[in-house]
Amino acid sequence: MHAKLPHPFDEATRVTAGDSSWQGHTSDDYWAFVGPFGGATAATILRALIEHPQAAGDPLALTVNYCAPIAKGLFDLDVRLVKANRSSQHWSVELSQGGGEVATLATAVFAERRPSWEHRVAQYPDAKPFEETLPFPKISASWANQYEFRFVEGEMRIGPPQAEPASTYSKIWISDRTPRKLDMLSLMSMSDAFFGRIFHARRELVPFGTVSLTTYFHTDAEELAAEDITRVLATADSKIMHKSYADQNAELWSPNGRLLATTTQIAYFKA
């Protein structure tokens, strides 16, 4: 029997362990216009942390600052446990290439999540089922074609420009094009799998790139595995686009109605 080939996402986020320096490799399957898809880079960093022998608990927050372009090929991850106490860990990760300058700087918090009082304030978005929603056509950036996007509301439409900016709000089903059970790594990556809100507002593609991304996890690995899902229902929006920078915020929901993650980012644009 032939060995089963790894999923493209697992291949893209694979890391090789070292003492403090780990290694990863960019993937042509998850390439954006000028560098790797930021979600795949963030997931690779998270994989190094999850697989680290000192890691305890589950990811609670990950912030990734994209400092400089990452070239195709190998990169190093300098992983450091900054502070640990009884219930949480604080990590720092620097991504560099060829022993050179840092291209990506990340911080993460891992925590032991214990049963507690809870209050679920956010409401599950009303949405047409995945099966009844049309897939978005493929686009030129290879990373986007590793996902299947099904817009319930706020589909990206390019041209012609309108007098008034279009809505920046989207409600969308996101799944791996080759089905893969959702875990913390793919949840991290999907939290960056949105088209720039400025593309929606202006109905055109403009130079754009994430500068800083923070994702907060509202589930742990065990709970997420029990959801047994291959897709999320997500909402994304923007509050402001001003002097070359724009925010973006999003929620990622399980089809079973649980809020899995929230995320916010600041991105550069030229328009």
- Mean pLDDT computed over 36-47: 98
Q: Do 210 and 151 share a structural domain?
A: yes
Q: Is residue 41 part of a domain?
A: yes
Residues 6+ positions from 227 with CB-CB distance below 8 Å: 182, 219, 254, 256, 258, 260
DSSP category for residue 225: H
Q: Do 165 and 203 share a structural domain?
A: yes
* Residue that is last in its domain, among 112, 141, 164: 112
Q: How far apart are CA 46 and CA 39, in angstroms?
A: 10
Residue 165 tokens read as 């900016």
What is the per-residue pLDDT for 159?
A: 87
What is the per-residue pLDDT for 242?
A: 98
What is the per-residue pLDDT for 9?
A: 98
Q: Is residue 74 part of a domain?
A: yes
* Per-residue pLDDT reduced to its tens digit, 170-196: 999 999 999 999 999 999 999 999 999
* Per-residue pLDDT reduced to its tens digit, 193-228: 999 999 999 999 999 999 999 999 999 999 999 999
Q: Is residue 122 part of a domain?
A: no
Q: Is residue 207 part of a domain?
A: yes
CA angle in degrees (0–180, nearest 5) for 60-122-171: 95
Q: Which structural domain, as residue segments, surrounds residue 32?
A: 12-112
Q: Do 270 and 195 share a structural domain?
A: yes
**Would the CA dihedral through 136, 140, 144, 145 be positive or negative?**
positive
- Mean pLDDT computed over 242-268: 98
Total domains present in the chain: 2
Q: Is residue 196 part of a domain?
A: yes
206: domain CATH number? Answer: 2.40.160.210
Q: What are phi and psi of 113, to 5 degrees?
A: -95, 120
Asked if 170 contacts 151 with a C-beta cutoff of 8 angstroms, the reply is: yes
Give the predicted TM-score (pTM) of the model.
0.95
* Per-residue pLDDT reduced to its tens digit, 136-156: 988 877 999 999 999 999 999
pLDDT at 235 over 70: yes
What is the per-residue pLDDT for 118?
A: 95
Average pLDDT, the chain: 95
